[in-house]
Amino acid sequence: MISIFENMFTSGNPNCFKDINNSTEAAVRKLLIESRKIVIFTHKNPDGDAIGSALGLTQALRDRGKDVHVVLPDSAPGFLRWLPAYQDVVIFGYNPEKAKGMVESADLVFCLDFGDTERIGKLEPVVQTFQGPSILLDHHPAGKNFASHNFVYTNKGSTAEIVFSFLDHFDLLEYLNESGATCLLTGIITDTLGFKVASSNPDVFEVTMKLMALGANKDLIFDKVYNQYSADRMQLLGFSLSSRMIIYEKYQAACIYLSIADLERFNHKKGDTEGFVNYPLSMANVRFSVLFTEQDDCIKLSLRSKPDFAVNQIAKKYYEGGGHRNAAGGKFFGTMSDAIKSFENILQVTFDTSGEIVNG
């Protein structure tokens, strides 16, 4: 008798990997069988999707008998360090020689959740000198398809969902256990902001259901990711909203700006400002939000928008950045007041006073 559980795994892939051509199919299958030493990379300032995808894939491939290591440009924020096997991750910034050695001896490399090797910072030259085969799994638009095999599905809300479909398609799902499923579900939850955005496609719920059936604990993930803030972080958020937010009613936009001094006042730790940029969007008449964070060498921008307005174009055109339609990043070189002035100019040329886009 076939149980309901078994039946779910024969129900087919959610929408990825259906159209890959025969030669790619055969080449990737061969790589997955023959490779022994595998290195997995993901982008700098890793978020839940980056880390969750990397650790979920690692778990399944290890159980398949592979020697797998995750190499990151820099460490994950505290609210992601509880993920299973995070302690095995090699951070290039702390241990460059070890990371280089792993890449040199690898016979297959995975790149997860970035479309351009520029996104892996100091690791970029290490990856570029790697001569062996590589597989890219990503959902960012306008990527460079730099790998030997590129699986980029921009309609997916997270790379973790693509990793799940990859495992499913290449008959590796049987190796995914509760720990790996928890990592992948963390990726899905964080990149969709808890199923609030980028999750209109029902596939995401099918994948979520299967991950939960494997033992991923959704409630635990929400608690570990979202209920772990420090008092300093809460107070920095309060300060940001009360003293560092500007609302531009006529452009339906808002920004939050934080200087190094502001961050220091609240004992800022890496990851503390994560999610701040989303708060202005919860106002009825705001559909475009930007967070300016002062860093040593530049002002970092996070841009977010409601579905009807694309921020990746703005990030690319004005801020040397890019990203998704409704979530992008960029940089500004200059003082904070210049950054805000330039933002106000951009609002003026992008919208008319009724908030209509005139130059998107």
| Rounded-to-10 torsion of CA 279, 284, 288, 291 | -20
Q: What's the DSSP call for residue 140?
A: -
User: Judged by CB, which is closer to Mn ion: 49, or 262?
Assistant: 49
**Least distance in Å: CB of 179 to Mn ion?**
20
Q: How far is CA 22 from the centre of its chain?
A: 30
In angstroms, rounded to a whole number, what is the distance separating the alpha carbons of residues 335 and 269? 22
> Tokens in use for 303?
């841009």
**Least distance in Å: CB of 48 to Mn ion?**
8
**Least distance in Å: CB of 114 to Mn ion?**
9
In angstroms, rounded to a whole number, what is the distance separating the alpha carbons of residues 113 and 41? 9
Using alpha carbons, select from 193, 127, 129, 114 the residue that is nearest to residue 159. 114
CB of 113 closer than 8 Å to CB of 101: no
User: Judged by CB, which is closer to Mn ion: 157, or 347?
Assistant: 157
Q: How far is CA 280 from the centre of its chain?
A: 21
Which parts of this chain interact with Mn ion (CB under 5 A)? Answer: 49, 113, 159, 191
Using alpha carbons, select from 121, 181, 142, 123 the residue that is nearest to residue 322. 142
Q: What is the CA radius of gyration of the chain?
A: 21
**Least distance in Å: CB of 35 to Mn ion?**
24
Residue nearest to Mn ion according to CB distances in the complex? 49
User: Judged by CB, which is closer to Mn ion: 191, or 272?
Assistant: 191
In angstroms, rounded to a whole number, what is the distance separating the alpha carbons of residues 225 and 244? 25
In angstroms, rounded to a whole number, what is the distance separating the alpha carbons of residues 155 and 239? 36
User: Judged by CB, which is closer to Mn ion: 49, or 294?
Assistant: 49
User: Judged by CB, which is closer to Mn ion: 113, or 168?
Assistant: 113
User: Judged by CB, which is closer to Mn ion: 189, or 299?
Assistant: 189
**Least distance in Å: CB of 113 to Mn ion?**
4
User: Judged by CB, which is closer to Mn ion: 71, or 255?
Assistant: 71
**Least distance in Å: CB of 182 to Mn ion?**
17
**Least distance in Å: CB of 157 to Mn ion?**
8
CA angle 263, 289, 156 (to 5 degrees): 105
